[in-house]
Structure 1
Amino acid sequence: MIANVALPRIMKVGGGAINEVGALVDELGAARPLIVTDAFMLTTGHVDRIIKAIEHDGHTAAVFSGVVPDPTTDSLKEGIEAARRHDADLIIGLGGGSAIDTAKALGILSRQGGQMRDFKAPRNNNGPAVPVVAIPTTAGSGSEATQFSIISDSETHEKMLCAGISFLPVAAVIDYELTLTMPARLTADTGIDALTHAIEAYVSRKANPFSDGFALSAIRTIGTNLRRVYTDGSNADAREAMMLASTQAGIAFSNSSVALVHGMSRPIGALFHVAHGLANAMLFPSVTEFSISGAENRYADCARALGIVSPSVSDQYAAGALVAELHALNRDLEVPTPEGFGIDRASWEEKIPLMAEQALSSGSPGNNPLVPDAEQIQGIYKDIFA
């Protein structure tokens, strides 16, 4: 099998890397960058630092701060106008996955026009887009290194997977210092998101030797550091390790794929407003248990990489230990069930058929080691509620 590998052209990695943004704009030959972020980021000082660095080199920056959690097609409208009004030749996405996904969407829409639903999977998008620089402030989405953007359709409430080289950032700035103030809940949810990316990339039917190396490295690092950084958010070494692991996991799944967990989590996020990483965490143990028979040896490799079993144990034992560890991780990181999150049982059960339909239509379940049908997906939704 030939792996089709794509990465950002430039990646600046390390504490203080945000101070290189001005020089990066120069390096990319841009002059009118638009910074895409949310209202909270305006209060942190990061936006001011970036603007100062850009203007120091004689360029003109503008800011769009209308990013919302789990961005929607409606939330993009003002951003498209901002990009066109500024005549932006570069878009800088600053924030978590929502900000970077918004930046990617604005890049393609402000260049090609049309509606976001025109670009959803299974379409592979390789047309023109305004280049994007991604600056993550959370350690989880990996969006700074991926060929994907997730946008919810405001009319249908479908959480759309949009894929292709058009969505790949031209550059990424990976500065762990931007994550030092993340609260514990966000640290947990984004950390499990990164672990889900890494494990799904490794067990995916599209896995390849290139993605495998990044996936296993990310799994090892997350296994060592996620509980540490959840307990002590000021642990700079653990923060740095998690930031790197998040990017490695992003590279892995961008060049392999995600699978059933992600296919099933997107409808939960869209219909019940559950953060993406948290929705993944709710599903992760049960989906893994369902899937093991399709790739027992690969799941066993993941357990060994996490450091929860010795190299000498059987694949069957190691894979079972992985499921137990995912349950334990959810307990230790206080991940709620859908019921514990506050979702009404009747509303959940009513929407299960729609969630299963949307999960299957995303295409991600088809990459799973064991490909489910609609009835099996509905069964998992029922099982995880409480």
Structure 2
Amino acid sequence: MQPFDFQLRPRIVFGAGVIEQLGTLAVELGARTVLVVSDPGVVKAGHFGTGLQSLEAAGLVVHSFHEFTENPTTAFIDAGVEVARRVKPDLIVGLGGGSSMDCAKGINFVYSCGGEIKDYWGVGKATADMLPMIAVPTTAGTGSEAQSFALISDAETHVKMACGDPRAACAVALLDPALTLTQPYAVTALTGIDALSHALETHVTTRRNAVSSTFSRQAFRMIAGNLARVLEVGDDLEARGEMQFGACLAGIAIETSMLGAAHATANPLTARFGITHGQAVGLMLPHVVLFNGRDYPELYAELLAEIDPGESQHDAPQQIAQRVTELVGKAGLKTKLSELEIPRDALPQLAEDATQQWTGTFNPIPVNAENLLSIYQAAY
């Protein structure tokens, strides 16, 4: 059995309407002044207002930071840190999608430890204890609420930096599936595909272990079994809850197992061509499954058994890849790089970029520029 070192760090509070407990939970953590980090879309949807009401009803002084967009950059972190230094919070709330939660963690790194966010690129580089955090996801996607990593893009180079430290883990993950009902269809699709990729990739990495695989398999069952439903019937609260909790479980799996070549090949598409992460990873994922499935078919057979135990397992990688492709198509996303108008002559550079991605180092089959290029070519 693969060795592991596991600790479930966030307290998980789940249920429709639990956002009303936000103020009480903040007080339990000793908060008096709170900085809430929420993107403008979350404010427009009314979720920031709901959280604000709960916090103020608990007698807390609340400040906010909204000046950032999807894929938070170093510039946004700098701006958020300036706000934090002015208001001096003793607790940070990340309320929104992965961008809001990652931005909140990034602000916490720099505000608590000094320097700049680039100083924390990597693992275990925090220099001091950090402020307690509460994560309130409004999407079912990144699982950031259950991770000690913040994914921040360099504002100049667009390189995505994974900044992780156990002290960056949230104290509480507040999962209210009712908050996900307001997601536009495109957000439901993109974040749902991202969550699916997390469940799949964490199950096959070189760091997979008994704990991570337990979470990966359950996450895959919940996400693969409900993604089509939430795309068809957006107000199905039960399915929304399955998706949100499944995404959280996949996030927990990432903590010890990390990710693989699907993310390594997706990130350069975002950096060079601005392709949304969910679209990029969803397009690349089936081809990575087929690539890894040549040597590790049994791992994909275990996942297939979670959603269809009566199905023959002999061609599990092909079946998983086909099902992912169908879900990506059902989500209204492209399934070929040519459909995104990526120039074919850009593929070698994309493959070279992918070799620099940290997640690729955990892929079960070692990757290099040559075999990564073959994956891009298969996806074209």
Which residue number in structure 1 is paired with residue 364 of structure 2? 369
Alignment of 1:332-351 (within 5 A): 332-336=330-334, 337-341=336-340, 343-345=341-343, 349-350=345-346
**What is the rounded CA distance, in whole Å, between the counterparts of 1:171 and 1:197 in structure 2?**
21
Question: Is 1:89 equivalent to 2:74 in the alignment?
Answer: no
Question: What RMSD, in angstroms, separates the aligned Cα atoms of the two structures?
Answer: 1.8
**What is the rounded CA distance, in whole Å, between the counterparts of 1:231 and 1:302 in structure 2?**
24
Q: Which SS does the other structure have where 1:361 is aligned?
A: coil
TM-fit CA distance, 1:207: 0.9
Which residue number in structure 2 is paired with residue 252 of structure 1? 253
Question: Is 1:356 equivalent to 2:346 in the alignment?
Answer: no
Which residue number in structure 2 is paired with residue 35 of structure 1? 36
Question: Is 1:237 equivalent to 2:238 in the alignment?
Answer: yes
Offset from partner CA, 1:215-257 (integer Å, 9 cap, x none)? 1111111222111111111111111111111111111122211
Q: Which runs of 4+ in 1 moved over 6 A?
A: none
**What is the rounded CA distance, in whole Å, between the counterparts of 2:151 and 2:71 in structure 1?**
8
Distance 1:325 1:49, change over 3 A: closer
TM-fit CA distance, 1:180: 0.6
Which residue number in structure 2 is paired with residue 325 of structure 1? 323
TM-fit CA distance, 1:338: 3.5
Question: Is 1:380 equivalent to 2:380 in the alignment?
Answer: no
Q: Which SS does the other structure have where 2:152 is aligned?
A: strand
Is 1:70–1:275's contact at 8 Å kept on the other side of the alignment?
Answer: no
Question: Is 1:177 equivalent to 2:178 in the alignment?
Answer: yes
Distance 1:5 1:52, change over 3 A: same
Is 2:29–2:132's contact at 8 Å kept on the other side of the alignment?
Answer: no
Question: Is 1:125 equivalent to 2:120 in the alignment?
Answer: no
Offset from partner CA, 1:8-52 (integer Å, 9 cap, x none)? 342211111100000011111111110001112222222222222
User: What is the identity, as a one-letter code, of the residue corresponding to 1:322?
Assistant: I
Identity fraction in percent:
33
TM-score, L = length of structure 2: 0.94
TM-fit CA distance, 1:77: 1.7
Alignment of 1:104-123 (within 5 A): 104-121=105-122, 123=123
User: What is the identity, as a one-letter code, of the residue corresponding to 2:223?
Assistant: I
Distance 1:338 1:131, change over 3 A: farther
**What is the rounded CA distance, in whole Å, between the counterparts of 1:9 and 1:250 in structure 2?**
11
Is 1:7–1:146's contact at 8 Å kept on the other side of the alignment?
Answer: no
**What is the rounded CA distance, in whole Å, between the counterparts of 1:296 and 1:360 in structure 2?**
24
**What is the rounded CA distance, in whole Å, between the counterparts of 1:43 and 1:105 in structure 2?**
23
Which residue number in structure 2 is paired with residue 168 of structure 1? 169
> Structure 1: where are the runs of 5+ without partners?
none
User: What is the identity, as a one-letter code, of the residue corresponding to 2:373?
Assistant: Q
TM-fit CA distance, 1:344: 4.5
**What is the rounded CA distance, in whole Å, between the counterparts of 2:119 and 2:352 in structure 1?**
19
Is 1:125–1:166's contact at 8 Å kept on the other side of the alignment?
Answer: no
**What is the rounded CA distance, in whole Å, between the counterparts of 2:215 and 2:162 in structure 1?**
22
**What is the rounded CA distance, in whole Å, between the counterparts of 1:197 and 1:98 in structure 2?**
16
TM-fit CA distance, 1:152: 0.8
Residues paired across the two proteins, number: 377
User: What is the identity, as a one-letter code, of the residue corresponding to 2:40?
Assistant: A
